[in-house]
Chains A and B, each alone.
Chain A
Amino acid sequence: MKYLDEYRDGEVASKIVSEMRRIQTRPWVLMEVCGGQTHSIVKNGIDHLLPEGVELVHGPGCPVCVTPLEMIDKAHAIARCQDVIFCSFGDMLRVPGSDGDLFTIKSLGGDVRIVYSPLDCLKIAKGNPDKRVVFFAIGFETTAPANAMLAWRAREEGVNNLSLLVSHVLVPPALAAILSSPENRVQGFLGPGHVCAVMGYSEYEPISSRYKVPIVITGFEPLDILHGTLMTIQQLEEGRACVENQYSRVLNRTGNLPAQRLVSKVFEVGDRKWRGIGTIPMSGYHLCEEFAQHDAERLFEVAEIATLEPEICISGQILRGIKKPHDCPAFGSLCTPQHPLGATMVSAEGACAAYYAYGRHLNPQSADALLQIAPGGGARRTGKEWGDAGAA
């Protein structure tokens, strides 16, 4: 398929991997920031292609995953109201709150609808003037412009029965939080391609220079990810730390300025709670005061809902790249997409859910089986061959 097959070419992939092998002198731990990248890595088996010693850990960039449980509970409380049509992106429907998911609420008579664009809600609200229409506006910077446009147009067009339940988060504060943690293992980032298509990448430059960490803004196709990984390793091997753009076919340093202007008119930056991580200062968007009449959190008096997570889940450590899904004893047994115990299992883009969806919860021999049929699997270097550098 045009514009896709070009980025899934096995021959080019093996050339990139050979180049990684050629330049690599020691092990490196890299984090892909986006859930979309995690999904692509696991779906295509990219991590099995990488040279031994290049480890990808999975970042916090899954918007569904990091939406706090209490926000889900607020959404469910609203969706249960009789006069409400609750609209959401499809993958939020299966995320369980303290008591069921949106599918369950739908099965009990709630009017829950999947929308493909936030602006679909305008039509629904205009067509149902006797109902209150609420859109669950979640996501990173990527979805912010479309969500902001919904609030903007609702106000401009006087659609007063339409409101947004906002749970928006921002990538740069999360990266800073990961890097400043004493437990941090991450030495370089594959930066968030879609987020930067909106925001540009200049805001990553201070992070890169302050923490001396390479950040390569990377796309989502297999070759994008391999190329981004190679560029990050190149920087690390050469002792450089700067922001580079692998995804130049889509984005530039400044990003989409009209989108940024709209977002800044509708949203203001404030503290946000991240599921599995906790509150990060100035890490999310809230609706500005002038959009208060479209703010579902104020309209539905759900502010007092506060839900705490079971502390047994290690998703906070997974989201910060400290642990991987297999490190959790509940992974694939107690905790599955059907019965998620925490953030990273709730959405297809979460690391645990991606591992699960692509069969990595199956018996331990499955990992061996995968390695056996992976090209070059038998020729991997062992940890010992890295010598002293390996211990670093």
Chain B
Amino acid sequence: MQEQLKGRLGLEDATKNDTEDLQERQASPLFGSCPIPIFDHKQIVLGHGSGGKLTADLIEKIFLPAFSNQVLDKLDDQAVVTIGGARLAFTTDSFVVTPIFFPGGDIGRLAVHGTVNDLAMSGASPLYLSAAFILEEGLAVDDLRRVVESMREAAAQAGVQFVTGDTKVVNRGKGDQIFITTTGIGVIEGDINISANRARPGDKILLSGFIGDHGMTIMSQRENLEFEGAIESDCASLNGLVAAMLAAALDRGERDFIHCLRDPTRGGVATTLNEIAKSSGVGMLLREQAIPVRESVKGACEVLGLDPLYVANEGKLVAVVCAGMAEAVLEEMRRHEHGRDAVLIGEVVAEHPGMVLMRTEIGGTRVLDVMFGEQLPRIC
């Protein structure tokens, strides 16, 4: 046992007399610095793409040290840059979903909505997109045509144009039918200032509708799980909804009332709210009962042991709004087709900064932490 332990502790030259020393280390208050070679990934695993802690690790350890600058360091879903006096929102996203066609959408629609939504969450009006396709040898041209047609439709709905693109083909087996990367650019009007670091105590937290639809659709398709009552992806462009929300207070002369907007994709609502809480240095208090989950999604999650709060959405947003305007914004959201089921789910508090707490259905309490790895393998 000692030999084994020494090996693990990296104490190759330890002698038998070190036993006591080892025990001391274990009991000492300096335990936290014990040099155990803890398990770490030497290769990329699927969890690195989950949007949870492993993804954050990659960004923090690999990407930020290389690329760090003022704009990037904000780690919002889009960059906001000023060029020639105009404030532009700029973002990019890759889409690798399996299957490429699923109830309620396909990879093409997703690639449009995802990027449009990232732009919209800064309050920008999305204008132009680029599309880069990585196609696997053997992909049916008809399938590509279907994907592209659905991108055309989605772009028309969102009021954006594809203005540039690229195509590559890889050998069979070196890709998974089709990967799409879209990049988008939009303009932020006037003095709109929406960012994950602007939540203030007293603000209300709004959610635009039912959660978990997209993630559970993909999951049930991918694993051939048949659940009673079909689930459809919610994928949709939300720039129209955001515009309606921003217009909510125009007649009241209010300007700065939407503080944060995020679309809770990978990692779900729980991860998104944690990001906002940490970024703004505030706490959050949610009511579980207020969070809308469809019966079918709830059932599927129960069966698979998943938590809908961590399941991906592709057509929902959470908004942190100043208290005085919450009702007005909510009403405006409910008038819009993508916000019909909008609800107030909680509020921002000064206590427990960086933490999201939730009152559970039965009146207990729990902390909602960031998702660790992944709930769903390779969702989008």
Report yes or no: B41 in contact with A341, Cβ–Cβ below 8 A.
Answer: no
Contact B31 A330 (CB under 8 A): yes
B36 close to chain A: CB less than 8 A? yes
CA distance A94 to B40 in the complex (A): 12
B216-238 CB mask vs A (1 if < 8 Å, else 0) is 00000001010000000000000
Which A residues from 315 to 351 make CB contacts under 8 A with B?
329-330, 333-334, 337-341, 348
Q: Are B32 and A333 in contact (CB under 8 A)?
A: yes
User: By the criterion CB–CB under 8 Å, are A334 and B364 in contact?
Assistant: no
Asked if B299 is at the interface (CB within 8 A of a chain A CB), the reply is yes
24 A-B contacts (beta carbon < 8 Å): A4-B298, A44-B362, A45-B360, A45-B362, A48-B364, A100-B39, A103-B47, A104-B42, A107-B45, A222-B362, A223-B362, A226-B362, A307-B4, A308-B4, A311-B5, A329-B32, A330-B32, A334-B31, A338-B53, A338-B373, A358-B366, A358-B367, A362-B369, A369-B283
A247-B347 Cα distance, complex, nearest whole Å: 37
CB of B351 closer than 8 Å to a CB of A: yes
Cα distance, A52 to B347, chains bound together (Å): 29
Report the Cα distance A337→B29, complex, angstroms. 22
B8 on interface, CB distance cutoff 8 Å: yes
**Alpha-carbon gap, A44 to B369, bound state (A):** 14
Asked whether, in the complex, the Cβ of B373 is within 8 Å of the Cβ of A348, the reply is no
Query: B31 near A43 (CB under 8 angstroms)?
Result: no
Q: Is A45 within 8 A of B295, CB to CB? A: no
With A341-B36, A365-B352, A374-B365 already in contact, the answer to whether A107 and B44 are too (CB < 8 A) is: yes
Give 6 nearest A-B pairs by CB, closest first. A359-B367, A45-B364, A339-B38, A10-B363, A45-B365, A13-B362
Q: Interface readout for A351-392 with B: 1 if CB under 8 Å, 0 if not?
A: 000001111101001100110111100000000000000000
CB-based nearest B residue for A36: B305
Given contact pairs A329-B32, A334-B36, A373-B359, A116 touches B225 in the complex (Cβ within 8 A):
yes
- A362 and B366 contact, CB distance less than 8 A: no
Bound-state Cα–Cα, A329 to B42, Å:
27
Q: Tell me the complex Cα distance, A356–B38, Å.
A: 17
Contact A14 B363 (CB under 8 A): yes
Q: Is B298 within 8 A of A1, CB to CB?
A: yes
In the bound assembly, the distance between CA atoms of A310 and B3 in angstroms comes to 11
A149 CB-CB contact with B under 8 Å: no
In whole angstroms, what is the CA distance A388 to B361 when docked? 36
Q: Is residue B119 within 8 Å, beta carbon to beta carbon, of the partner chain?
A: no
Cross-chain contact of B305 among A106, A308, A330, A348 (Cβ < 8 A): A348
Q: How many A-B residue pairs have CB under 8 A?
A: 148
Closest to A5 in B: B361
| Mask: chain A, 92-121; 1 = CB below 8 Å from B; 0 = not | 001010001101101110000010100000
Closest to B9 in A: A310
Given A104-B43, A107-B44, A333-B32; A44-B1 close (CB under 8 Å): no
Given contacts A44-B364, A45-B364, A311-B5, 5 further A-B contacts (CB under 8 A): A44-B361, A94-B373, A334-B36, A334-B38, A359-B369
A337:B355 contact, CB within 8 angstroms = no
The one of A8, A312, A333, A366 that contacts B361, using a Cβ cutoff of 8 Å:
A8
Given contacts A8-B361, A104-B45, A312-B26, contact A357 B369 (CB under 8 A): yes
B1 (CB) vs chain A CBs: closest residue: A308
Q: With A330-B31, A373-B359 known to touch, is A362 a contact of B36 (CB < 8 Å)?
A: no
Decide yes or no whether B302 CB sits under 8 A from chain A.
yes
Chain A: interface residue count, which band?
35 or more
Is there an interface contact between A10 and B361, defined as CB atoms closer than 8 Å?
Answer: yes
Taking a contact as CB atoms under 8 Å apart, the answer to whether B39 and A310 are in contact is no
> Does the CB pair B46–A369 fall under 8 Å?
no
Chain B residue at minimum C-beta to C-beta distance from A8: B361
Q: Is the CB of B45 within 8 A of A362?
A: no
Residues of A within 8 A of B (CB): 1-2, 4-5, 8-10, 13-14, 42-49, 91, 94, 96, 100-101, 103-104, 106-108, 114, 116, 222-223, 226, 307-308, 310-312, 329-330, 333-334, 337-341, 348, 356-360, 362, 365-366, 369-370, 372-375
Alpha-carbon distance A327/B169, docked complex (angstroms)? 56
Query: When A357-B369, A373-B285 are in contact, do A108 and B364 touch as well, CB less than 8 Å?
Result: no
B110 close to chain A: CB less than 8 A: no
Enumerate chain A residues within 8 angstroms of B54, measured Cβ to Cβ.
338
Report Cα–Cα, A237/B36, bound state, in Å: 47
CB closest residue in chain A, given B361: A8
Other-chain residue from B1, B53, B351, B377 in contact with A369 (beta carbon distance below 8 A): B351
Can you name the residue of chain B whose Cβ is closest to the Cβ of A308?
B4
Give Cα distance in the complex from A375 to B4, angstroms.
Answer: 49
B34 within 8 Å of A by Cβ?
yes
Neighbour of A310 across the interface among B8, B351, B366, CB < 8 A: B8
B154, CB-defined interface residue at 8 Å: no
Q: How long is the Cα–Cα vector from A96 to B42 in the complex, in angstroms? A: 13
Task: Tell me which residues across on chain B come within 8 A of A366, comparing CB atoms.
Answer: 352, 355, 367
In whole angstroms, what is the CA distance A375 to B363 when docked? 7
> Are the CB atoms of A48 and B362 closer together than 8 Å?
no
Q: Could you give, for residues 47-59 of chain B, a 1 whenever the CB lies within 8 Å of some chain A CB and a 0 otherwise? A: 1000001100000
Asked if B357 is at the interface (CB within 8 A of a chain A CB), the reply is yes
Distance between B333 CB and nearest chain A CB, rounded to angstroms: 25
Taken together as a complex, chains A and B put the C-alpha atoms of A101 and B54 apart, in Å, by 15
Q: Which residue of A lies closest to B360 (CB)?
A: A44
Contact A359 B366 (CB under 8 A): yes
B128 within 8 Å of A (CB atoms): no
B291-307 vs A: 1/0 string, CB under 8 Å?
00001001100101100
CA distance A8 to B359 in the complex (A): 13
Output the residue of A2, A101, A330, A338 with the most chain B CB within 10 A: A338
Q: Report A-chain residues with C-beta under 8 Å of the C-beta of B360.
A: 43-45, 222
With both beta carbons as reference points, the residue of chain B lying nearest to A41 in the complex is identified as: B364
Measured between beta carbons, the chain A residues less than 8 angstroms from B359 are 373
Q: B362 contacts which of A10, A357, A373 (Cβ < 8 Å)?
A: A10
Q: Which B residues are CB-close (under 8 A) to A14?
A: 363
Q: Are A370 and B39 in contact (CB under 8 A)?
A: no
Given A223-B362, A357-B369, residue A1 in contact with residue B299 (CB < 8 A):
yes
CA distance A352 to B377 in the complex (A): 24
Min Cβ gap B368→A in Å is 7
- Closest partner residue, chain B, to A98 (CB atom): B8
Please indicate the chain A residues that have their CB under 8 angstroms from the CB of B45 in the complex.
103-104, 106-107
With a cutoff of 8 Å between Cβ atoms, the chain A residues found around residue B369 in the complex are 356-359, 362
